[in-house]
Amino acid sequence: MLIVAQIRENKEKFIAALAKRNFDASAIFEEVLQLDETRRSTQTQLDKVLAESNRLSKEIGMLFKSGEHQKANKVKEQTAGLKEESKQLTDLLQSTQEALQERLYNIPNIPHESVPAGKSEEDNECIFTAGEVPQLHEGKLPHWELAKKYDLIDFELGNKVTGAGFPIYKGKGARLQRALITYFLDKNIEAGYTEYQVPLVVNEASGYGTGQLPDKEGQMYHVQNDDLYLIPTSEVPLTNMFRGDLLTDKDLPIQCTAFTPCFRREAGSYGAHVRGLNRLHQFDKVELVNLVKPSESYAVLDQMVEHVKDILKELKLPYRILRLCGGDLGFTSALTYDFELFSTAQDRWLEISSVSNFEDFQANRLKVRYKNSQGEKELVHTLNGSSLALPRVLAGLLENYQTPEGIKIPEVLVPYTGFDIID
């Protein structure tokens, strides 16, 4: 969430930056500044009324004490009017603050200066490519056919139990999935992250804290009777663990990792591009979350990118890194790098990770601050990334490692799977 004082000081600069997102901030900025002016003037009036009311209350007490009851009762008549004025000002202040908060919740983060302008994913900037695309044998199959051939994933059974987008993994398919989860967590712990097991449902405050609410695209599953939300990513509970905290300089950086199932309605997703594991309503993911000092956040972002690159290098998968353009940038992000692996059987790139710096956008919503070395309170910067989202990694492994004899297992995963080929 943007800070009003920063909007006031950088109005034109922010409008130009948000234009990269194809977001015209002119009108909403005017509303924000007007509401903030009303809020401040109302607060000033309320403070004066309350101060006068307190003064009169003391005067009434002294008059009664000195036996001047008639004068005291006359002064009490004045306080009745002040109480009514105080109530009206309090109501106005509350409604103004709510309206201001609602406007601020609907303004996306300011893109980093390196974010390219653009309208959609076609305008994203490829900044790195690595790995060799394998030359597959004639008769190569997409992962959904391989899953059926080797009895690894049952999409129809998942549809029977729940519905489309909820596959059931079986046998070596389930073991490969578990191996990937454990491998990703081990890599993260080795890099200094602390592992957490977190709830799969969160309250409304948590959704607002990390920016999943308000849910403009209808992507979250809502448990209405309890007013709870199924998590779209473990970023939400991990980051909200620190909501409202005042950290110390020595607490930072904070590095968290967690494996969770994730739930997304994926409203409006249809067509061949969502077939098989390409787009699911429930999927497994291992997440990275960092809380850091503002001066260190972009160095940490680079470290996270290198960490994901190292995982893909060990898996020996062909991949590329994209710097997202303004039109494809997530609502809360200042800068995002997407990792995509190449699916040889599908002849297309599949997104498998996003690594993002939110700067202080989430921290302002969450009110997560720390005392810097000068003893001043300052918002932290938050970052998150996938290491990795499993469905498309699994799809890429099945497709890129297929041979006429079966599906080979990457060498780094064999200690985790206990087998080196699916045949």
Beta bridge partners of 379: 369
The CATH class of 121-422 is alpha beta
Question: Within a 10 A sphere around the Cβ of 33, how many other Cβ atoms?
Answer: 16
pLDDT by position in tens, the chain (length 423): 999 999 999 999 999 999 999 999 999 999 999 999 999 999 999 999 998 888 887 877 787 778 777 777 777 777 788 888 999 999 999 999 999 999 999 999 999 999 999 999 999 999 999 998 988 888 899 999 999 999 999 999 999 999 999 999 999 999 999 999 999 999 999 999 999 999 999 999 999 999 999 998 899 999 999 999 999 999 999 999 999 999 999 999 999 999 999 999 986 555 556 789 999 999 999 999 999 999 999 999 999 999 999 999 999 999 999 999 999 999 999 999 999 999 988 899 999 999 999 999 999 999 999 999 889 999 999 999 999 999 999 999 999 999 999 999 999 999 999 999 999
Report the distance separating Cα 175 and Cα 260, nearest Å. 16
Closest CA to 281 of 158, 383, 388: 158
Rounded distance, CA 40 to CA 7, Å? 15
DSSP conformational letter for 278:
T
Residue 35, C-beta contacts closer than 8 angstroms, at least 6 positions apart: 96, 99, 100, 103
**411-416-421 Cα angle (round to 5):** 50
Q: Would you state the torsion angle of the CA atoms of residues 219, 223, 234, 215, taken in this order, to the nearest 10 degrees?
A: 30
Q: Which residues contact 140 (CB under 8 A, 6 or more apart)?
A: 344, 345, 399, 402
**What is the CATH T-level fold of the domain 4-105, as seen in this structure?**
Helix Hairpins (1.10.287)
Calculate the CA dihedral of residues 197, 202, 203, 207 and round it to 10 degrees: 110
- Write down the domain spans for the chain: 4-105, 121-422
Question: Would you say the C-alpha torsion 241, 244, 247, 253 has a positive or negative sign?
Answer: positive
Q: Which residues pair with 419 in a beta bridge?
A: none
DSSP 3-state of 169: strand
Q: Indicate the burial class of 199 (C-beta count within 10 angstroms; 0-12, 13-18, 19 or more).
A: middle
Residues 379, 254: contact at Cβ < 8 Å? no
